Every structure is written in C-alpha cells, then in structure tokens.
Amino acid sequence: MNRWKIRPPSKASIVVLLSMVVVAVLVVVFHAQNPMSYEIYSSESIHYDKGTVTAVTAQSLEQEPPPSNRLLGTQTVEIQMKNGQYKGRIITIENVLSTTHNIQVKAGQSVIVKVDSPENAEPYFSIYNYDRTIGIIAIALLFFLLLVVVGRRKGIKSLLGLAFTLFLVVGLLLPMIYQGYSPILSSLLVAVLVTLAAMLLLNGPSKKTLVAILSTGAGLMISAALYGLFTAILHLSGYQMEQVEDLLLVSQNTGLQLGQVLFVGVLISSLGAVMDMTMSIASSLYEIKQVSPQVTKGQLMKSGMVIGQDMIGTMCETLILAFVGTALTTMLVLVSYGIQFDQLLSSDYIAIELIHAVTGSMAVVLSVPTTALLSGIFFAQSSSKT
C-alpha cells in the first residue's frame, strides 16, 4: 500500500509547474494579440453540428463485390439536431453512400451534420461523418489511465509534459509561423521550452537532467546542420511540400515564410527521439556512477557508447518505420501509376520523406557520443548524489 501513497510534489516540481503555467499564460496573451484572422476559404455560412438519427425511412443499397463488401446507394434519414442554429429540429437528409464517402447510419446513431445556410437561400444539410467525440475521449482517457497506473507519479508528470508540448505546438508554434515569424527561430524556441519542461518535470534539477538537456540541445543543432546540408544537396525547400499552393496564398496574405517550413517538421519530428536517447543514456550512466563511485570518466564514456549502440538500431528503425507507415498510402498510389525507379528517387515526395527520416535518425545516432562525453565530464566530477 505504501507504494501507492501519493506524496506531495517537491519544491522543484512546483517551481517547474508554475513556470509552465506562466509560459502558458504568455502564450494565451500572444495568441489573443496575434489572431490568425486570414482564411483561404470563407466558411461563415457553413457549420458542423451534432445530431442523432431518429429513423431511417427509406434506403436503396447494393453490396460491392469482394473484398470490400461495402454497401453503396442512398438512405433517407431523419435526424434530430442536438446543437447549433437548428437545435431540437428534426431534419430529413438524403444520405448518399459512395466509394469515397461511405457513412452508413442507423437509428440512434450520433452523427456530425454539415449545415450550409447561405443568406437568402434554403439551408442544405448533409451527413459529414460519424460523431466520434465519445470514442476519442474514451480512448484518450484509457491512454491517460494506463499512463498513470503504470507510470504513477512519473506517468502523471509525463501526461502534464505531453499536454504542455501539444499546447505549445498548437498555441504558439503554428500561430508564430502563420503570422510570418521565422519558422526556424519559432521551432527552436518551442523545442527549447519543450525540452526544459519535459526533462525538469520528469527528473527535477540534477546532473543527469543537465546532461540530457545539453545533449538534446546538441542533438537539435546537429539536426539543423544536417537539414541545411541535405536540403542543399537535394535542392529542397518548403516550396516542394504538399499543399504548397494553399500555403502560397497564406504566405501572400500573412507573410508566412514558406521556404523554412520544412525545417520545422524535421526538427519537431526528431525532438522526441533525441530526448528519449539522451535521457536514457544519461540516466543509465548516472545510476552506474551512484552504484560504483570509483568508476572513471573513461569507463563512463565507454559504457555510454555501448548502451547507445544497443539503442541505436531499434530507435532508428522506429523513426524510419514511422515515416514509412505514414507514407504507405502514397507509395501505393505511386506504384499504381507505374512510376519508374529513377523517377521515384528523384521525386520531391521521396526526397522530403528521406530528409525527415534520415535527419532525425542521424541526430539520434550522433547524440550518443555527445551524451556519453557530457556524462563522463559531469558525473566523474563527484560521486555524491545530486
């Protein structure tokens, strides 16, 4: 039972949490003073409201041949609106089930209704998608519960750090880039704040935390340098990204620096892996020093390299497979086009995916000797626990 006893947070944790709150308040103030007012498409007349299917009054559906076996056709459904301008009203919608928009509904099901109500015209209703709100909340709560049950205090701190990271990305990084601030400086600022918050919140101020922070910073600098080198070799910039046409419109109206946006994706995608690697090695070497105070700086560095070598393979494979997984559908489309090998290798898409995967992986690899070196320097200075 004592293992589950909730201990009050330490003074260091309270200071870190208060600092995170201060940063969050400053972000809210910044966001309020710099609203993202420009929109490519005006959607004032379009709203997405919740509704419940009360009845399916008619349907004409045919089953697709295997392997999909999906139903195609039309449904006539009655939906009671739960919020928005038409709350409480029962509306009738002709729901078309096609190969690309296949939302089959039944009585009692919650859906999201697209309401298009332009001035001086009859409103038009269509089923946008299933209402996934409860499902998403349930899955998120399950994840949070597992994190807290298994990780206990560390799990709670990890949860707070994750929430703070997502808040900074959505509330600070995106608005700064959107408003024309330097994407490179903006992403570095957010990366520094995320690193400090995550490391200090999880482990408090200590030598191993300092080593992990410094090593992560070095890893980010390595990532930035590799990005500059690789984009020069491959002749890449943000202008080769997907949806560049829409971003060009944003750039013309907000000052968004499109050419540097690619760097942001590379830096953010490699940040988590670099933090994981540096903290794992620093924590391991720190414990070695506490158990065997007589261990020398050279022995610590050697041990750090051995530990890092064991982690490199799986960590880099994790990064590569993550990008392969997200690119799988695009790769299938490219195969269906009968694209040639040389054409595939020279495409913007493959070059950009390569930059993301390889830059992050190399930053992880090079963070191993950096962390081992810094651990040897800092931990060998004293055998006392800090």
For 288-315, the pLDDT digits (tens) are 888 888 888 898 899 999 988 888 877 7
> pLDDT class for 1, splitting at 50, 70, 90?
very low
At position 128, the amino acid (one-letter code) is Y
Name residue 48's beta-bridge partners.
114
The contacts of residue 156 (CB under 8 Å, 6+ apart) are 147, 148
64 and 72 Cβ atoms separated by less than 8 Å = yes
> pLDDT class for 384, splitting at 50, 70, 90?
very low
The contacts of residue 310 (CB under 8 Å, 6+ apart) are none
Instruction: Say if residue 382's pLDDT is above 70.
Output: no
The contacts of residue 11 (CB under 8 Å, 6+ apart) are none
Average pLDDT, rounded, for the chain: 86
Which residue, among 198, 204, 157, has the nearest Cα to 10 in the 3D structure?
A: 204
At position 297, the amino acid (one-letter code) is K
Instruction: Say if residue 104's pLDDT is above 60.
Output: yes
Sheet holding 46-63, edge to edge: 90-97, 71-81, 46-63, 110-116, 124-130
- For residue 86, with 0-12 CB atoms within 10 Å meaning exposed, 13-18 middle and 19 or more buried, which class applies? buried
Distance from C-alpha of 247 to C-alpha of 256, rounded to nearest angstrom? 8
Instruction: Say if residue 267's pLDDT is above 90.
Output: no
Higher pLDDT, 338 or 386: 338
> pLDDT class for 7, splitting at 50, 70, 90?
low
Furthest-apart CA atoms within the chain: distance in Å: 83
Mean predicted confidence (pLDDT) in 265-280: 87
pLDDT at 386: 42
pLDDT at 313: 74
The 10s digit of each residue's pLDDT in 33-87 is 877 777 777 667 888 999 999 999 999 999 888 777 788 999 999 999 999 889 9
The contacts of residue 68 (CB under 8 Å, 6+ apart) are none
Distance from C-alpha of 235 to C-alpha of 231, rounded to nearest angstrom? 5
Name residue 107's beta-bridge partners.
none
Instruction: Say if residue 95's pLDDT is above 70.
Output: yes
CB neighbours (10 Å) of residue 93?
A: 20
* Choice among 33-42, 177-186, 298-307, 337-346 with the minimum mean pLDDT: 33-42
